[in-house]
Amino acid sequence: MPQALLHPGVYIEEVSSGVRTITGVATSTALFIGWAPKGPTDRALRMTSFADFERAYGGLDLRSLLGYSVRHFYDNGGSDAYILRIAAGAATAQVVIGTLTINARSAGTWANAFNVVLTRRADDATRFKIDVIDPSSNNAVLESFVDLSMTATDKRFAPAVINDQSTFIDKLAAGSAATPANTAATGVGLGSGTPGTDGTVQGPGDAAFRTAMLALFGTGAAADRIDLFNILCVPGLTDTTTIGSLQAIARRRRAFLLVDCAENATPETSGATGVATPANMATGAGAANSALYFPWVRAPDPLKSGALTAYPPSGFVAGILARTDSSRGVWKAPAGTEASLTGVAGLKTTLSDAENGLLNPAGVNCLRTFPVYGNVVWGARTLEGNDQRGSEWKYVPVRRMALFLEESLYRGTQWVVFEPNDEPLWAQIRLNIGAFLQGLFRQGAFQGKTPKEAYFVKCDRETTTQADINNGIVNILVGFAPLKPAEFVVLKIQQIAGDIPT
């Protein structure tokens, strides 16, 4: 009751309906990992456009596939991505002005091109301004911080104001409270004390790269601080052992790994250069959470005056997954005539139907070139999609749909924890999950003409026994009838015999 019933009259009491809306999670947030010339190495940044990537990570660089693949992702329909930069061995530019140490925002040679100008206020020598300028653009001021102080208790204490706010400088450290003297009008080089270096540029095939990348997925590490990502891409990675490790990570994070074939792979399913799905890639615990694409894609390179260059397919395919999810839903296969590649001049290998027929049963998704439709994704199998496996997770849309449901229900049922474990709770669970699945059914996400044919939710005395209740367990059983792609279309044509008198 809302209050004690003391005086005669009408009392109003609001009664909860028991409905707790379950919202479907995003399905096409990508995580790209690779070497970049700038950007943080201890955390991932979220990008909503390639322009964001250019500002934070330096854009395209001939030494790395990362920038190109991120651009291909956005060009093909992607809109949301995290970036993890690998740059082991790179050094951070640093300059010391008086007792004030100023570091570049991130490691790399990029910061050596900029100057820092420190100017005291004319009317108050304890206050000063720091500008970051670009000497190559007539000393244009890129950012400015005014009324700074070297007193730690001051609200404009320089390190407190600038750290984590500046795009160019970070980790300011004051050796004393003395205000530094003015620099020259053109400032001092940000790397004049300790120059920034790129170190050894590491590619996906380097052991140091693999070690650094896998370290990002440790407990509390950079990747694990990302709340949600659905698509995992390491452009150009072909090392099968590392791919196996990433498959397990994708399974743990309920994400989907896009695997690139080797650049010089050929359509054969065996041999030194033939496309293959090694045992540790196709039979590991996370094989269902990954898919292999072949061949590499030819596209113009803006850094080479538009010359055609081969790129791994994962960035293009990640964009197509995002585009398909947005227009049709995660239950639609990201393949077919609608899955056309944008910004592509051709494929490194043009496949025939016969060659495609060798690769598809082995679980290799091919990119094909067709008249009228152009370059398209022409396969939708996971790495468990080999016909001989007979896996229930044979198809990409089926597996991704299951991951979407798992993540959505995991997040949407947190309220159940510590609730009284009895029939009223079970009824609420059935109601809320049922309402969520019914909404998906009305969007065409499941097989079946009726909800009963499409899905079920079971949470009662049969799923949760008294022993479960005593152990604090509530068991919820959710089943769904997935839509499977029409991979083979068979047309049967028959002549109609004319009337034959008998």
Token duo for residue 203:
């590619």
The tokens for 386 are 């080999």
- Distance linking the first and last C-alpha atoms of the chain: 87
Beta bridge partners of 95: 102
Name the amino acid, one letter, at 308.
L
Top-tier CATH class for 30-87+201-397:
alpha beta
What are the residue boundaries of the structural domains of the chain, listed by start? 30-87+201-397, 94-189, 431-502
Q: Is 471 helix (H, G, I), strand (E, B) or coil?
A: coil
346-402 pLDDT, tens digit each: 999 999 999 999 999 999 999 999 999 999 999 999 999 999 888 999 999 999 999
> Among 9-13, 288-292, 348-352, 377-381, which stretch is predicted with the lowest mean pLDDT?
9-13
Q: What is the average per-residue pLDDT within 115-122?
A: 96
Cβ burial 397-414 (10 Å sphere, 16+ → b, else e): bbbbbbbbbebbbeebbe
Residue 385 CB partners (closer than 8 Å, separation 6+): 291, 363, 391, 394, 395
**In this structure, what are the phi and psi dihedrals at residue 252, rounded to the nearest 5 degrees?**
-65, -35
Q: Which CATH architecture has domain 94-189?
A: Sandwich (2.60)
Q: Look at strands 290-294 and 364-370 and give their pairing.
A: parallel
DSSP strand E in 81-179: where?
Answer: 81-85, 94-97, 100-104, 115-120, 128-134, 140-148, 169-174
What six digits make up the tokens of 272? 């030194």
Helices first, then strands: H and E counts in the chain: 12, 20
pLDDT at residue 218 above 90? no
Decide if pLDDT at 94 tops 90: yes
Provide CB contacts within 8 A for 389, sequence distance 6+.
Answer: 282, 363
Over residues 404-412, the mean pLDDT reads 97
- Examine the pLDDT at 2 and tell me if it is beyond 70: no
Distance between CA atoms of residues 437 and 344, nearest Å: 38
Mean pLDDT over 201-219 rounds to 84
Cα separation, 380 vs 362, whole angstroms? 12
Mean of the per-residue pLDDT values for the chain?
A: 93
- Tell me the pLDDT tens digit for each residue of 135-162: 999 999 999 999 999 999 999 999 999 9
Strand partners, 298: 310, 346
Average pLDDT over residues 266-279: 78
pLDDT surpasses 90 at 12: no
pLDDT at 501 over 70: no
Confidence of residue 42 (pLDDT cuts 50, 70, 90): confident
For residue 378 the two structure tokens come to 């022409």
Q: List C-alpha distances in Å: 302 to 28, 46, 60, 62, 299.
A: 27, 24, 9, 10, 10
**What is residue 7's DSSP assignment?**
S
**What are the beta bridge partners of residue 72?**
none
